[in-house]
Amino acid sequence: GGPASLSRFRGALVAGVLGDCVGGEFEGAEEVPMERVLQHLNSLDDETKGNGILDYSDDTAMARCVVQSLLTRTGYDEQDMARRFGKEFSTSPGRGYGSGVVQVLKKLSAPQLSDVYQPARAQFNGRGSFGNGGAMRAAPFALAFPDLADVKRFAGLGAMLTHSCSLGYNGAILQALAVHLALQGALDPPQQFINRLIAEMEEVEDNEVTRNDARILKEAEKPFCERLHRVRDLIDRSKVSIEEVISELGNGVAALHSVPTAIFCVLHCLQPRECLPESYGGLERTIAYSLALGGDTDTIACMAGAIAGAHYGIEAIPQSWIKCCEGAEDADVNAGRLHALYYQSAKGG
């Protein structure tokens, strides 16, 4: 479809859910041979397996809260979104949440809470979390707001409800930016796409808070920009091993070690790759490749899936995969609603 077509909205929201659901199998695994990844993905096509459903995890549970809040409030409402996170956690605490964020979510479900950003600020001795929990649920912000400045502002604020460290919420901004640009059809050529992301993140990371967090955590002055330069170097090379990707970009639970990685997965898989079946299209390649990195596979595949889905559109997603994943059909319906909200906002209404 063309820029910001319904197909791209549906692709983004549905492929994010798929990445989470199929990635759950390997979360935390140190080494995942591609053979095992392909076996896992092939089993989704196997009707005789009795239509086993793969459950979604916290990534999708929280993204659903973001979607519902943006739709119900027709925009960003911090009180409403915080309340939904708290309620979702108290209803289904077993979705695999990060060990720290659980404390925040318990506090967010308390009805007398007035400053909804306060619980997040109390995390990790007052420094706030740099986990990827803000980034994993950032895609819907790109689907609700047509204006780039709004996407950045609200993706950041929405992440701060649980992640008050700049290395956490800036990762959410980067993920939302990537989905926003992919939705416009700006993912290809990849060099240009990365340059756009770097230019935007130069601005996002140009402040005292970010510099201070980076200093304390012994990272580069603009940590996400530095990682994006590494992504650019890696996509320039004809051959890159999985080990190199992991050592250069990471595959861990920190936003800094997973959002640039997810972006790399999408760009690397724009072309056919030797290690992946010829029958796979770009979206299938992206999901498979993300899982083969190991580590935080559900979250990296979820974020890469959302970006790739925005680029390729819903038609690129195998029906059999959609049928196997909890929440995928819901995501498809909600993508249509976000599409309507996006165009309502675009008209200034």
Among 7, 54, 59, 144, binds Mg ion (CB under 5 A): 59
Residue 130: name its binding partner from Mg ion, ligand R7I, none (Cβ under 5 to 8 Å by kind). Answer: ligand R7I
In this structure, what token pair is assigned to residue 330?
């819901």
CA 320 vs. chain centroid, Å, equals 22
Among 88, 200, 205, 298, binds ligand R7I (CB under 6 A): 298
The secondary structure of 142-208 as a DSSP string is: HHH--SHHHHHHHHHHHHHTT--SHHHHHHHHHHHHHHHHHHTT--SSHHHHHHHHHHHHHHHT-SH
SS3 325: strand
* Cβ closest to ligand R7I, residue 97 vs residue 321: 97
- Per-residue DSSP letter, 26: G
Among 76, 85, 89, 130, binds ligand R7I (CB under 6 A): 130
Task: State yes or no: residue 98 binds ligand R7I (CB under 6 A).
Answer: yes
Whole-number Å distance between alpha carbons of 242 and 145: 35
Number of neighbours of residue 157 by Cβ within 10 angstroms:
18
Q: Is-contact 225 202, C-beta < 8 A?
A: yes
* Cβ closest to ligand R7I, residue 75 vs residue 96: 96
Among 129, 175, 184, 210, binds ligand R7I (CB under 6 A): 129
Which segment (7-15, 108-116, 131-139, 233-241) binds ligand R7I by CB under 6 A? 131-139
Which segment (42-50, 53-61, 65-73, 183-191) binds ligand R7I by CB under 6 A? 53-61
Whole-number Å distance between alpha carbons of 97 and 212: 28
- Fill in the amino acid letter for 78: E
Of residues 79 through 108, those in contact with Mg ion by CB under 5 A are 96
Task: State yes or no: residue 271 binds ligand R7I (CB under 6 A).
Answer: no
* Cβ closest to Mg ion, residue 59 vs residue 332: 59
Task: State yes or no: residue 296 binds ligand R7I (CB under 6 A).
Answer: yes
Binding to ligand R7I by CB under 6 A, coded x per residue (else -) over 310-329, reads: --------------------
CA 58 vs. chain centroid, Å, equals 12
Whole-number Å distance between alpha carbons of 237 and 216: 33
Of residues 281 through 320, those in contact with Mg ion by CB under 5 A are 296, 298-299
Residues in contact with ligand R7I by the rule CB under 6 A: 57-59, 96-101, 124, 127, 129-133, 136, 165, 253, 296, 298-299
